[in-house]
């Protein structure tokens, strides 16, 4: 199985901050990497697919980059509604696997 490692596992940030979350795959996954946002008690919501494509309806302050084994999710200016847990997910091979999550909390 491909292991997905996210860092940090949690972070505290203020509204307006630039936030970067990283995801590393245990082997190359090309650009087969997706990012999700999950709020408490809710289902995940896809933000970025194919490493860098913004899902329809997602604000442009979210962006993704990377290929191979190293990927980043960037929130350019953190908004109150962005406090949530973020997961990366690879679709290069089955079983599909997710990172352990990054919880973004209010500073």
The site for other proteins (CB under 8 A) is made up of 1, 31-34, 36, 42-46, 49-50, 55, 87, 89, 91, 94-101
CB of 52 to other proteins, least distance (A): 11
End-to-end CA distance of the chain, in Å? 36
Handedness of CA 41, 46, 48, 51 (dihedral sign): positive
Nearer to other proteins, 60 or 94 (CB): 94
Q: How big is the chain by its Cα radius of gyration, in Å?
A: 13
Question: For residues 17 and 67, which CB has a smaller minimum distance to other proteins in the complex?
Answer: 67
Least spacing, CB of residue 15 vs other proteins, in Å? 26
Closest CA to 4 of 63, 91, 82: 91
């Amino acid at each position: 199985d491909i292991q997905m490692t996210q860092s940090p596992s949690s972070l505290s940030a203020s509204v307006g901050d630039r936030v970067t979350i990283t995801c590393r795959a245990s082997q190359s996954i090309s650009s087969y990497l997706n990012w999700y946002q999950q709020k408490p008690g809710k289902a995940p919501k896809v933000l970025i697919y194919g490493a860098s494509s913004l899902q329809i309806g997602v604000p442009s302050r979210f962006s993704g980059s990377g290929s191979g084994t190293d990927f980043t999710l960037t929130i350019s200016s953190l908004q109150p509604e962005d406090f949530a847990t973020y997961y990366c997910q690879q679709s290069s091979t089955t079983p599909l696997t997710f990172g352990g999550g990054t919880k973004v909390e209010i500073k």
